[in-house]
Amino acid sequence: MSWRRYFRRNRRDAESARDLEFYLEQETADNIARGMASDEARAAARRKLGNATAVREEIHRMNTIGFIDNFWRDAVYALRSMRKNPVFTVTAVLTLALGIGGNTAMFTVIRAVLLKPLEFRDPDRLVYYSMDNARRNVHDTQFTPDRLTQMRAAARSFAALGAYGANPENPSLSGEGDPLSLRGARVSANFLDVLGVAPALGRSFLPEEDARGGPAVAMIGNDLWRRHFGADPAIAGRTVTLDSTPTTIVGVLPAGFAFPFSGIDVWLPRPSEWSLLPPRFWGISLLMGFGRLKPGVTLDQARAETTVLTEQYNRAHRTMDSDSTMRIVWLKDRLVSNVRGMLWMLFGAVGFVLLIACANVAGLLLARATSRSREFAVRAALGAGRSRLIGQLLAESLVLATAGGALGAIFAKWSLSALQSVSVLNQPAVSNALYVPGASGMRVDAMVLGFTIALSLITGVVFGLFPSLEMSRPDLADVLRESGVGAGRASSGKRGTLGISPRALLVIGQVALSVVLLIGAALLMRSFARLHSVNTGFQTSNLLTMKIALPPSRYNTDPRRAAFFSDLVQRVETLPGARSAAVAMSLPTTRWIRTNITSVQGQPLPETNDPTFGVIQSVTPGYFRTLGIPLRRGREFTARDNMAGAPPVMMINESLAHLLWHDYPQGPNPVGQHISEGYDKLVGMMEVVGIVADIHEGGLASDVVSEFYLPCVVHPPQNAYLVVRTPGDPLKLGNSVRSQVAAIDRDQSVSEIRTMETVYEDTLGQRRLTMQLLGSFAGVALVLALIGLYGVIAYSVAQRTHEVGIRRALGAQQGDILKLVLGQGLGLTLAGVVLGIGGAFALTRVMKTLLFQVSATDPLTFAGIALLFVIVALAASYIPAWRASRIDPMAALR
Amino acid sequence: MSKSKPPDGDLLQGTLDMLILRTLLLGPAHGHSIAYSIERRSSEILQVEHGSLYPALYRLEDRGWIAAFWGTSENNRKAKYYRLTPAGKKQLIAETDRWERLATGISRILRPTAEERA
């Protein structure tokens, strides 16, 4: 085959040479035999043979693959000329490395998260299901165990149906040493069967372990098994103390298994037995579902069947959610739904950066090629065809792109590890967010390298073709006639479409693309600033928070839990460095519990779509003082309110006051009125003793909600948060608070020790990362576009030295020249900015969900970026303009 | 990279190939003797520049119609000998057929017809 011949051609050539040599010897010998003198004989032999070198060359050519040979020569030449132009080379390679590296990194993420199938058996059969309620405007919410039972009994579309508890748990692992607070998930016993995953060790749950009152069993994650149990191969069957209950570990999950939440250490059966709620509530809506479609069943068929079954169920059970509908989506789609838009948007943005980088390098090459037009004319005159000239220029750009690609791959590897360390994909802001598949498996592998190589080659061709086409038809006579200095002018004067030179077009494109990116980044930054200026309603600084999950087995009664929390608050408040402390059922941004107000004395309940319009908070008396929530009317809870048997009292926030008494703050005073609520037990009518200001419970981006507060003793939570106000750095107090917890209960663990500022910041993680990435892309784009603009202007000034000289000689002032050049820069910039604004108008809507209180077409941002760009562009063209204005007419014209 | 494709319709090249194959039908030979053999056997009508023989030899070898080996010449020098392969023999028959048909056709056209003679 020709490739083999290609590599063996040198040996073949030697053979041909020997063969021909033999001919000469033989012919010479024959000639001598014919009676010639030896010199003459040799010469005659040569004549007879003809041109031996030409013959060898002909045979050699048969063995070569033409373009490779040429390419090799061109590449070597390109390397030589790159070495002679280090500034150009370094600029071009770095520019390309940024573009290619950024794209490689983003592609790695996109591939790991979005493109790879889930690492389960037949992942394209797996679905996710949950409830929607159009009337209450709640979506993707939980369902009851009864619905699961009905679905399992009746649905024929599914090979298997599983469910998980919508909220992760925090079981404590005690025994040796400090108790360990783990992250746990409750799943139906068949979860591994549905997913098609085999345990790494031991067995999966048995069906009977899913029944109420089943044995205390758990499966543990590979990470916990290695970290805490020293990868004990005999772990299966071992009994450990989990939430003060002897629990048998039945199996270990494979490494990397993360379903349904990320960072789960322990899986428990019986998904509806949420430890936060007493057992009598384990029948309420607490489940989310996943399942496997039977082979051949389409998603639409499954949806149709489920709709019918849901209606049947709703007719048979008149409950609060009996007008809900079930939604079924592909599991993969649901898992990536929170990040998909962001990732594609960033991929698009980084693609823009690459385009800008290409345009920049194309501009550089074009400038260089123009100044080399004489070289090309000479080559063409010596017989190089157009394809050879294009080939040479392409070879140069491919060499550049290869170097850029290699550097880019290194850059990508580095930026990926940086990205992974701050990745919000691994640490979702909301504790009950589903895990993001592939987030931990992002690495530069063969496929990614293939992408990089392909990208480099395409890049090389894209930015190389532009100048090559331009340069490969030199007007020979014209260029060669010119003297060395002005040699480039003939071809640089050539105008492309619409009388604009190709370099100008490149710059306009660059400006337009970077304006789009800048506007996108600016919109995100403005949203972020808006978010940070949101008044949370209380003082977030100097607050220490931590989570305390009381094991239901030991703290199984209200008095036990209430006593624990009272004791804890008392102890912590005596700590030096703690101003005040309180315990609450939930923290702002952590998952709250909505419930319903069942009656208001003396007036009807308000008409609302959502009966669960009230968020319940169970707090110890110091809560408002500790957080700094202003009291609007009445009084705060006192220690007496928090004692068992005290008259039932309640505090409400202003939103709830306004909802129940429309005229608030005018009209009847809510303080002193009586309300009853419908959380886990009937407390009866409670007197409203105070009204507090609203706070942003749902995080900065959410609206305020109507909310009521009850003394801790009424509903002592199973999982609670401790907040401590400190004069200085709150985290310094972490250990002494932890030891106070241990002093009350040696086996009790704490988790999520954070400052309140971090609690809020953590909810912004994805926004922040998006903003930072888009911001850095936009920054790179801006710099590249300015370099491109500067290059074009500076180059055109150099080209027009002669013209400027004539103008000066004819009386143009320095200011006129300055204006002339600046005008050129301004023209290019304006054209690009207008195009960019149009593009941004069309594109920024994709980031709507990431914006906060800023319109996707915010006029101020658009105008600001346009203005900013014009100013920096003028600054960039000022340097060459100034240089042009200083041209000495005598020197220029001589 | 169409270099290994047989040059169909290239009469002269094909012809030279055929002559080489025909020469080798008599037994292995080296380049020098092939050149002379062709010259002699065509009663010196076909004067080829002997060098041009070598690319043809190379091409034929590449196609597997002839095989090369290093041997010793009549005057005890190392020489590259070429011999016909079975595939080459088949090719020679095909080529000869083609040539004869072509030659008959051409000579029919060239032979003056009765009308022209009249």
Q: How far is A404 from chain B (nearest CA, A)?
A: 31
Residue spans of alpha helices (H) in A159-221: 191-195
Most A CBs within 10 A among B1, B48, B59, B78, hence the mutation to make, goes to B1
Q: Which among A27, A51, A61 is the nearest to B32, CB-wise?
A: A27
Contact B49 A49 (CB under 8 A): yes
Please check the confidence at residue A492 and state whether its pLDDT lies above 70.
no
Please check the confidence at residue A360 and state whether its pLDDT lies above 90.
no
Residues 6+ apart with CB under 8 A from A808: A817, A887, A889, A892
Q: Which among B50, B52, B62 is the nearest to A23, CB-wise?
A: B50
Would you call A49 an interface residue with chain B, using a CB distance cutoff of 8 Å? yes
Say if residues B53 and B20 touch (Cβ distance below 8 Å).
yes
Place of tokens 């809020």: A760
Of A224, A220, A259, A196, nearest in space to A440 by CA = A259
Q: What is the largest CA-CA distance in chain B?
A: 63
**Taking the CB of residue A578, how many other CB atoms lie within 10 A of it?**
22
Q: What is the pLDDT of residue A65?
A: 64
Contact B50 A48 (CB under 8 A): yes
Beta-carbon pairs below 8 A across chains A and B: 66
A245: tokens are 């209950």
**Taking the CB of residue A38, how many other CB atoms lie within 10 A of it?**
11
* Whole-number Å distance between alpha carbons of A355 and A44: 65
Please check the confidence at residue B4 and state whether its pLDDT lies above 50.
no
Would you call A33 an interface residue with chain B, using a CB distance cutoff of 8 Å? no
Which chain B residues are within 8 Å of A2, Cβ to Cβ?
1, 3-4
Share of chain A above pLDDT 90, in %: 33
Contact A22 B54 (CB under 8 A): no
Q: What is the pLDDT of residue A797?
A: 83
CA A768 to chain centre: 10
Contact A19 B54 (CB under 8 A): yes
* Whole-number Å distance between alpha carbons of A132 and A741: 41
Contact A22 B51 (CB under 8 A): no
Q: How far is A472 from chain B (nearest CA, A)?
A: 24
Most B CBs within 10 A among A2, A18, A19, A34, hence the mutation to make, goes to A19
Most A CBs within 10 A among B3, B16, B44, B77, hence the mutation to make, goes to B3
In whole angstroms, how far apart are CA A430 and each of A170, A262, A590, A672, A852?
Answer: 15, 11, 7, 37, 18
Q: How far is A50 from chain B (nearest CA, A)?
A: 5
Better pLDDT: A519 or A283: A519
**Confidence label for B12 from pLDDT (cuts 50, 70 and 90):** low
Q: What is the pLDDT of residue A453?
A: 87
A248: tokens are 């048998």
Q: What is the pLDDT of residue A159?
A: 94
- Any idea of the CA torsion for A716, A717, A720, A726, to the nearest 10 degrees? -20
Place of tokens 């609670």: A720
Contact A18 B80 (CB under 8 A): yes
Pairing, β A593-595 against β A172-174 = unpaired
Can you give the length of chain A in residues?
894
Contact A23 B31 (CB under 8 A): yes
**Confidence label for A496 from pLDDT (cuts 50, 70 and 90):** very low
Q: What is the pLDDT of residue A628?
A: 93
Summarize pLDDT for A809-838 with one digit per residue, the tens: 888 888 888 888 888 889 989 999 999 999
Q: Which among A22, A55, A65 is the nearest to B77, CB-wise?
A: A22
Would you call A44 an interface residue with chain B, using a CB distance cutoff of 8 Å? no
* Whole-number Å distance between alpha carbons of B10 and A407: 51
Q: Which among A2, A22, A49 is the nearest to B79, CB-wise?
A: A22
Return the SS3 of A856. Answer: coil
Place of tokens 């110890």: A620
Residue of chain B nearest A60, judged by CA positions: B55
Say if residues A565 and A581 touch (Cβ distance below 8 Å).
no
Q: Which residues pair with A434 in a beta bridge?
A: A261
Q: What is the pLDDT of residue A815?
A: 87
Which chain B residues are within 8 Å of A48, Cβ to Cβ?
49-50
Lowest mean pLDDT among A243-247, A287-291, A551-555: A551-555
Would you call A29 an interface residue with chain B, using a CB distance cutoff of 8 Å? yes
What ipTM was predicted for this assembly?
0.79
Would you call A23 an interface residue with chain B, using a CB distance cutoff of 8 Å? yes
Is 0.80 surpassed by the pTM of this model?
no
Q: What is the pLDDT of residue B114?
A: 57
Which chain B residues are within 8 Å of A65, Cβ to Cβ?
1
**Taking the CB of residue A556, how many other CB atoms lie within 10 A of it?**
14
Please check the confidence at residue B7 and state whether its pLDDT lies above 50.
no
Q: Which among B4, B50, B79 is the nearest to A50, CB-wise?
A: B50
**Confidence label for A473 from pLDDT (cuts 50, 70 and 90):** low
Burial of B116 (0-12, 13-18, 19+ CB in 10 A): exposed
Summarize pLDDT for A606-625 with one digit per residue, the tens: 777 666 778 889 999 999 99
Of A360, A456, A316, nearest in space to A399 by CA = A456
Q: Which among B51, B73, B78 is the nearest to A52, CB-wise?
A: B51
Q: How far is B116 from chain A (nearest CA, A)?
A: 43
Please check the confidence at residue A54 and state whether its pLDDT lies above 50.
yes
Q: Which among A2, A26, A55 is the nearest to B55, CB-wise?
A: A55
In whole angstroms, how far apart are CA A399 and each of A65, A81, A89, A91, A466?
Answer: 20, 11, 10, 14, 16
Please check the confidence at residue A634 and state whether its pLDDT lies above 70.
yes
Pairing, β A266-268 against β A217-220 = antiparallel
Lowest mean pLDDT among A84-98, A273-287, A864-878: A273-287
Say if residues A582 and A622 touch (Cβ distance below 8 Å).
yes
Better pLDDT: A276 or A324: A324
Please check the confidence at residue A852 and state whether its pLDDT lies above 90.
no
Q: Which among B1, B30, B50 is the nearest to A49, CB-wise?
A: B50
* Whole-number Å distance between alpha carbons of A310 and A326: 7
Residue of chain A nearest B79, judged by CA positions: A22
Summarize pLDDT for A427-465 with one digit per residue, the tens: 555 667 788 887 777 778 888 888 888 888 888 887 777
Half-sphere exposure of A203 (CA within 13 A, CB side): 9
Would you call A15 an interface residue with chain B, using a CB distance cutoff of 8 Å? yes
Q: What is the pLDDT of residue A226?
A: 93
Please check the confidence at residue A705 and state whether its pLDDT lies above 50.
yes
Summarize pLDDT for A501-539 with one digit per residue, the tens: 777 888 899 899 999 999 999 999 999 888 888 888 889
Residue of chain B nearest A19, judged by CA positions: B80
Residue of chain B nearest A22, judged by CA positions: B79
Contact A62 B58 (CB under 8 A): yes
Please check the confidence at residue A302 and state whether its pLDDT lies above 80.
yes
Q: Which among B52, B73, B78 is the nearest to A50, CB-wise?
A: B52
**Residues of chain B in Cβ contact (below 8 Å) with chain A:** 1, 3-4, 30-32, 35, 49-52, 54-55, 58-59, 62, 73, 75, 77-80
Say if residues A675 and A597 touch (Cβ distance below 8 Å).
yes
Say if residues A567 and A642 touch (Cβ distance below 8 Å).
no
**To which H or E segment does residue A160 belong?**
strand A158-165
Which chain B residues are within 8 Å of A14, Cβ to Cβ?
none
Summarize pLDDT for B37-50 with one digit per residue, the tens: 888 877 766 666 77
Better pLDDT: A49 or B116: A49
Could you tell me if residue A438 is left (phi over 0), alpha (psi between -120 and 50 degrees) or otherwise beta?
A: left
Angle at A226 between CA A220 and CA A229, to 5 degrees: 75
Would you call A638 an interface residue with chain B, using a CB distance cutoff of 8 Å? no
Determine the average pLDDT of the residues in A379-395.
77
**Taking the CB of residue A602, how many other CB atoms lie within 10 A of it?**
8
* Whole-number Å distance between alpha carbons of A14 and A11: 5
Please check the confidence at residue A306 and state whether its pLDDT lies above 80.
yes
A129: tokens are 């299901």
Say if residues B25 and B89 touch (Cβ distance below 8 Å).
yes
